[in-house]
Amino acid sequence: MDKSLLIVGVGFMGGSFALALRRGGFQGSIYGIDINSVTIDRAKELGVIDEGGTELSLTKRFSPDYVIFSSPVRTFRQIAGEIKGYIRRETVVTDLGSVKGKLVFDLEGILGGRFVGSHPIAGTEKSGVEHSFPELFENKKVVITPTERTEKGALDEVVKLWELTGGKVEFMDPMLHDWVFGAVSHLPHAVAFALIDALIEMSNEVDLFKYPGGGFKDFTRIAASDPVMWRDIFLENKDNILRAIDMYSNSLQKLRNLIEREEESALTEYLREAKQRRMSLE
């Protein structure tokens, strides 16, 4: 019999996950629950989900084999607590959240070892189910964060789901995950949001947004990301992000001081090292 799946939070990520699974050959029913009924209607129209609604209690009727959390990360604990009473013993639960760490252990505390944390390293600055597309995860890394408590069977099932989407699975410790992605993803988002904020402040005299040349648009694209999603990421990964922002501020001050003191050769070296390191990524 085909297995069924429930997506909680049918936005850009959850919608793309559903479409990617279908494209990968997933045959069972796909259900969706979202706080916004308009989202559910749109997701049905777009063929992203087969059926859905706005109440978590619908989970009982859907009786899914898999549940995927894809709402903002700070909602997961409450959703897990509510949904626990509606799912079957063998239902496997995973998520698409950008924060793992303590959240994974808390969710295991609620749901047990059938919860498996996952984080696809894929996304755009777009939000909303209407922007979903099935190729989002194709050849993208998916970081899965099992713990000592993770059930082997649940882990295997989650890996299989991700393989259907075209994602490339890697495993990582949940705490290490939050430091790494705090640095390479959450910090750049904070830096980009702050850049727009600064330009708003600086536009008191001249409207700087009239001159968006010189790489500015590419550089700040990620600042168009969903505010509630990012508020939750920043708060849920607070300690790592604060540490990363502080280390970043030191690097920026170092650059500032080289400019102020006109230390030509040290300044060139600073920029050259950054260029070389960045180019090594291509």
Site for its own copies in 199-218 (CB under 8 A): 199-202, 205-206, 208-209, 211-218
Stretch that binds its own copies, among 46-54, 56-64, 151-159, 263-271 (CB under 8 A): 263-271
- As given in the structure block, the two tokens for residue 75 are 């909602």
Stretch that binds its own copies, among 40-48, 84-92, 104-112, 233-241 (CB under 8 A): 233-241
What one-letter code names the amino acid at 275? K
Residue ranges in 9-38 that form contacts with its own copies under rule CB under 8 A: none
| Distance of alpha carbon 127 from alpha carbon 224, whole angstroms | 9
Q: Which is nearer to its own copies, 147 or 185 (CB)?
A: 185
Nearest CA to 172 out of 239, 245, 121 is that of 121
Closest distance to its own copies from the beta carbon of 88 (Å): 34
Q: Which is nearer to its own copies, 86 or 137 (CB)?
A: 137
Residue ranges in 134-193 that form contacts with its own copies under rule CB under 8 A: 140-141, 176, 179-181, 183-185, 187-193
Stretch that binds its own copies, among 3-11, 19-27, 101-109, 256-264 (CB under 8 A): 256-264
Phi, psi of 51 (to 5 degrees): -155, 155
Our finding on whether 133 is near its own copies (CB under 8 A) is no
Q: Which is nearer to its own copies, 30 or 187 (CB)?
A: 187
| Distance of alpha carbon 21 from alpha carbon 157, whole angstroms | 13
Our finding on whether 100 is near its own copies (CB under 8 A) is no
Q: Which is nearer to its own copies, 58 or 191 (CB)?
A: 191
Our finding on whether 78 is near its own copies (CB under 8 A) is no
